[in-house]
Chain A
Amino acid sequence: MDKVIYLDHAATTSVRQEVVQEMLPYFTEKYGNASSIYAIGRESKKAIEDAREKVAKALKCGPKEVFFTGSGTESDNWAIKGMAFANREKGNHIITTAVEHHAVLHTCQYLEKEGFEVTYLPVDEHGVISLEQLEKAITDKTILISVMFANNEIGTIQPIKEIGRIAREKGIYFHTDAVQAVGHVPIDVNEYNIDMLSLSAHKFHGPKGVGVLYVRKGIKIHTLLQGGAHERGKRAGTENIPGIVGAGKAIEMATKDIEDKVSKIQALRDRLITEVLEKIPYCRLNGHPTQRLPGNVNFSFEFIEGESLLLMLDMKGVAASSGSACTSGALDPSHVLLAIGLPHEIAHGSLRLTFGDDNTEQDVDYVMEVLPPIVERLREMSPLYEEVKRGVKHV
Chain B
Amino acid sequence: MYSEKVMDHFSNPRNVGEIENADGVGQVGNAKCGDIMKMYLKIENDMIVDVKFKTFGCGAAVATSSMATEMVLGKTVEEALQITNKAVAEALDGLPPAKMHCSNLAEEALRAAIQDYYKKNGIPFDGEPVCSGCCHDCSVVHE
Q: Please, which residues of chain A bring their CB within 8 A of the CB of B27? A: 383
Q: Are B54 and A381 in contact (CB under 8 A)?
A: yes
Instruction: Tell me, rounded to whole Å, the shortest Cβ–Cβ distance linking A143 to chain B.
Output: 36
Q: Is B64 interfacial (CB-CB < 8 Å)?
A: no
Q: Residue on B with the closest CB to A345?
A: B31
Q: Are B62 and A329 in contact (CB under 8 A)?
A: no
Q: Mark each residue of chain B from 1 to 25: 1 if its CB lies under 8 Å from any CB of chain A, else 0.
A: 0000001001101001010000000
Interface majority SS (helix, strand, loop, mixed), chain B: mixed
CB proximity to B under 8 Å, residues A359-395: 380-386
Q: Is B59 interfacial (CB-CB < 8 Å)?
A: yes
Chain B interface residue count: which class?
20 to 34
Q: Please, which residues of chain A bring their CB within 8 A of the CB of B54? A: 381-383, 386
Q: Is A235 interfacial (CB-CB < 8 Å)?
A: no
Query: Can you sample 16 A-B contacts with CB below 8 Å?
Result: A305-B58, A308-B59, A311-B7, A311-B59, A312-B11, A327-B58, A344-B33, A345-B34, A381-B13, A381-B16, A381-B54, A381-B62, A382-B36, A382-B55, A383-B27, A383-B37
The residue from A308, A325, A383 contacting B36, defined by CB atoms under 8 A apart: A383
Q: Residue on A with the closest CB to B66?
A: A381
Q: Is A204 interfacial (CB-CB < 8 Å)?
A: no
Q: Is A307 interfacial (CB-CB < 8 Å)?
A: yes
Q: Are B55 and A383 in contact (CB under 8 A)?
A: yes
Q: Is B98 interfacial (CB-CB < 8 Å)?
A: yes
Q: Please, which residues of chain B bring their CB within 8 A of the CB of A324? A: 34, 58
Q: Are B58 and A326 in contact (CB under 8 A)?
A: yes
Q: Please, which residues of chain A bring their CB within 8 A of the CB of B35? A: 305
Q: Are B56 and A304 in contact (CB under 8 A)?
A: yes
Q: Please, which residues of chain A bring their CB within 8 A of the CB of B59? A: 307-308, 311, 326
Q: Residue on A with the closest CB to B10?
A: A311
Q: Residue on B with the closest CB to A344?
A: B32
Q: Please, which residues of chain A bring their CB within 8 A of the CB of B32? A: 343-345
CB proximity to B under 8 Å, residues A293-311: 303-308, 311
Q: Are A305 and B61 in contact (CB under 8 A)?
A: yes
Q: Please, which residues of chain B bring their CB within 8 A of the CB of A311? A: 7, 10-11, 59
Q: Please, which residues of chain B bring their CB within 8 A of the CB of A343? A: 32
The residue from B7, B56, B98, B136 contacting A383, defined by CB atoms under 8 A apart: B56
